[in-house]
Structure 1
């Protein structure tokens, strides 16, 4: 488990301030939604207090992208409008890289929350990280994913990620494991109404993404493909919001 004491985190942060900016790594997060009458609920988990990155914060399931995820067979591909937005914007994002990023959101949701998104059916792979899908007979599916937002961690941080935020519905979960995922990254999983989720102990960028999502759901409660995607990043020491 990747954990550090507070003193170790403080030391790394002091070193990071004097070091060259770290190149951000691809990462993906999944915002899983459910409906309760006219209310939308979102799945969030609390990170362990000893984690080096955002300790004790409520976050969405997610993590770093493994380029090898691009080679995982799927039941359905990304919607073409979602792929177009994933490959647009700063930096070159090839279709294979976009596919790996999207699949990493699905993999991390299984690992951290025990939720397998896809379709029931025979699935086989030699990749150890995906054996849970093979064991439970779930073929990963990308068609249900919606690209919601993108954010790059500012320079001079302990960890830097170029994170793509996706959403899916609880009904897209083919298997829900009662004991959660195998990594124990999140010590508490809760379904929260969007308004309450924004009031939880969450990172500022998470709150901003929730506000973006809430506005989008007002205009499009079905989250149809092709919605606008806000992109947050630091430009000339100023945090900016662009639309992909």
Structure 2
């Protein structure tokens, strides 16, 4: 009989995190940008993941130039406070730029189409020499929250030593921009059809965490990026549970 592993008396407090499912249309269907994390990473080593990471304290800076749904609207969708919602959206934009080179920002009514002028700032963001608010102010840019869509919320099981309360966003690759793999956190990066990414995992060519697998499977339902972005679904917190069966431990998703 399967029994849940014992939850610790004092589970590690989860850290807020933001992850972005970056999408583009192709003749074969919707592709998503994926990265295989390096084996030396403390969390999700060797796993194939979407760009994203933990929220930085400075991501909650209220001075960020902002366009799109206000923080309170994001707070309502994710079921969190307004400061946390602001930080999550800012972290989503920052992490996407740091890890893929895609910048969800603009100047006036124009979106950024060429990110090469900001290569130096990208490195400063990665090293934490520069905050997102400082970067945007210095370059005269505005964060474009309207380019993001709230999509999912997954919480790491209580038994894990590193836990994240991860909110997932959808975003389309802005016209003119290119996603790259210039990050020390990934050994490789590529665009894939969700079904192909799942097939790679099933064949043992890659490894997917439960949220990644589940969300890739969800994307299979949408024939275009526009149709995926048009979806407004409730964002409910999902926490998988760890189950021990003999000498093996598996993860079950509610």
Q: TM-score by structure 1 length?
A: 0.74
Q: Distance in 2 between matches of 1:219 and 1:43?
A: 13
For residues 179 and 87 of structure 2, the distance between their equivalents in structure 1, rounded to whole angstroms, comes to 24
Alpha-carbon RMSD: 3.7
Tell whether the 8 Å contact from 1:74 to 1:142 is kept in structure 2 after alignment: no
- The 2-side partners of 1:39 and 1:217 are apart by 6
Deviations 1:98-154 (A, max 9, x none): 111111011111111222111146999997133665676643211111111100000
Query: Aligned with 1:215: secondary structure?
Result: coil
Aligned partners of 2:27 and 2:179: how far apart in 1?
A: 25
**Do the aligned partners of residues 50 and 19 (structure 1) sit closer, same or farther apart at CA in structure 2, a change above 3 Å counting?**
farther
2:85 to 80, 84, 98: 98
Paired residue for 1:85? 77
Alignment of structure 1 residues 191-230 onto 2, 5 Å: 191-200=191-200, 201=206, 202-215=208-221, 221-224=227-230, 226-230=232-236
Q: Secondary structure at the match of 1:171?
A: coil
Which residue in the other structure is 1:160 paired with?
163
Query: Which structure 1 segments of 5+ residues have no match?
Result: 1-16
2: CA distance between counterparts of 1:18 and 1:82? 32
**Which of 55, 64, 75 is the aligned partner of 1:65?**
55
Instruction: Give aligned pairs, total.
Output: 218
Q: Per-residue displacement from partner, 1:43-84 (whole Å, max 9, x unpaired)? A: 001100111211111101111012321225234133676542
> Is 1:115 the counterpart of 2:118 in the alignment?
no
Question: 1:231 maps to which residue?
Answer: 237
Q: Secondary structure at the match of 1:195?
A: helix
Match of 1:13 in 2: none
Alpha-carbon separation, structure 2, partners of 1:240 and 1:197:
19
User: 2:11 maps to which residue?
Assistant: 21
1:226 Cα deviation after fit: 2.9
CA gap of 1:236–1:56, structure 2 versus 1, over 3 A, is: closer
